[in-house]
Structure 1
């Protein structure tokens, strides 16, 4: 499926959020996926990943996740400087501000004739956490969360009782949780904590662990990238969203 791209600047309670839109060229209305990046914002690998999902018949929005903290259009490099800045941004933005970003994107999508109004979320690394967090919003019908960081630790800033692990019981859509067992950012005990919490919260979810490193989906930096596994996971994500968003 051939796609097209555009840029929209959405108003949020915490400032303008540049958002990149990927969608099929063919006329019609398609379900949507909010695609959350790593701490580096929309790098080339994230853009390619969003394009892959859009090419399977989805409207894909990639927001600048730390829009309050950077000039519009900021992309951080995959180096120590970029990593340090991204991690600082991660701990500077309260989770509640990500919640209001979800509302802004959802409301935008409801106004577009090319969208059916059904919305899911997907993300990698901190973006996996933000996809999980987005699913707290009852309008998000499904989320694919890839090696989601910082859920188990509860270390991201939020109001008392507002961390994502505590609020898991509010999730009504279907989750797909995908992990690399050789990921040092989410050790065994962290994954076990999240898994048990999902069970206790009676969330509808599937759980998948692979022999892979953190960021195994990223097609830049070949020490981690697993192309065959990435193709498998893309297919899993497409199947999830076709099941939940096309109904």
Structure 2
């Protein structure tokens, strides 16, 4: 089924847009797809469509709406990278997490959503997926190469539902020291699973990106798929 833009309400009554993709059956567990710094672009919509094809009700919220609604850029030009980093610098993380909670709550109320609701995020979204595990009622969360998680490890005690993180060994935005801090802070947590991808750079799972690696992306996506199958069934 083709995806469509829908309206999501915040707890203060404001509204923002999300891209909704439904499975062929029209029903399934929910997955919130959390954007990178390029907005709800084709990459994110394709990911939502992929989850829908796997039987999930996938919803990708526009988390940059407070700065500029409707951002949809690529990673293909220097100008777009500059715009993306500018958006990243302006982004209000706590407000973004609240928008993710609003998106989760929206999915839970939909008749199409038959089971639990999880979250999966990439880059900036990887950090937000971690924070979804500490600050929202997401039933299971997955973060790909999250940026800045090491600065939020004091929240690890709040994780009560399953969390999986994919860590790129040569991530230019999450260096060796940060990776070591993440492992030290989370390895012993009973609800957290960490996977390392030696030799991989940031965004190794971004199809079409400069650091895309098919084998690593396939492995990470399979692990995510198995994780969601285990934790999001009705």
Q: TM-score, normalised by structure 1?
A: 0.86
Q: Distance in 2 between matches of 1:245 and 1:7?
A: 24
Residue correspondences, number: 231
- Cα distance in 2 for residues equivalent to 1:204 and 1:5: 32
Query: Unmatched 5+ residue regions in structure 1?
Result: 155-163
Q: What residue is the counterpart of 2:220 in the other structure?
A: 233
Matched-pair contact (CA < 8 Å) for 1:119–1:140? yes
8 Å contact from structure 2 (residues 61, 100) kept in 1: no
**What is the SS of the residue equivalent to 1:47?**
helix
In structure 1, the partner of 2:21 is 22
Number of the residue aligned with 2:141 = 143
Give the Å deviation of 1:171.
1.3
Whether the aligned pair in 1 keeps the contact of 2:39 and 2:73 (CA below 8 Å) is yes
Following superposition, the deviation at residue 6 of structure 1 comes to 1.6
Partner of 1:242 in structure 2?
Answer: 229
Alignment partner, residue 77 of structure 1: 74
CA distance in 2, matches of 1:136, 1:235: 24
Relative to 1, partners in 2 of residues 1:91 and 1:168: Cα closer, same or farther, differing over 3 Å? farther
Q: 2:158 aligns with which of 162, 170, 176?
A: 170
Q: Separation in 1 of the partners of 2:214 and 2:120?
A: 19
Q: Which runs of 5 or more residues in structure 2 are unaligned?
A: none
Residue matched to 1:216: 204
Q: Distance in 2 between matches of 1:91 and 1:166?
A: 22
Whether contact under 8 Å (1:144, 1:237) holds in the other structure is: yes
Contact 1:33/1:59 (8 A) holds in 2: yes
Gap change, CA 1:103 and 1:83, over 3 Å in 2:
same
Question: Which whole-Å CA distance do the structure 2 matches of 1:231 and 1:87 have between them?
Answer: 27
- TM-score norm. by structure 2 comes to 0.91
For residues 35-74 of structure 1, the aligned pairs below 5 Å read: 35-70=33-68, 72-74=69-71
Query: Structure 1 residues 94, 138: closer, same or farther in 2, change over 3 A?
Result: closer
Moved over 6 A (4+): none
Would the alpha carbon gap of residues 218 and 224 (structure 1) be closer, same or farther in structure 2, given more than 3 Å must change?
same
Counterparts of 1:171-190 in structure 2, within 5 Å, are 171-190=159-178
Alignment RMSD, CA only? 1.9
Q: Provide the C-alpha distance between the structure 1 equivalents of 2:2 and 2:84, rounded to a whole number of angstroms.
A: 28
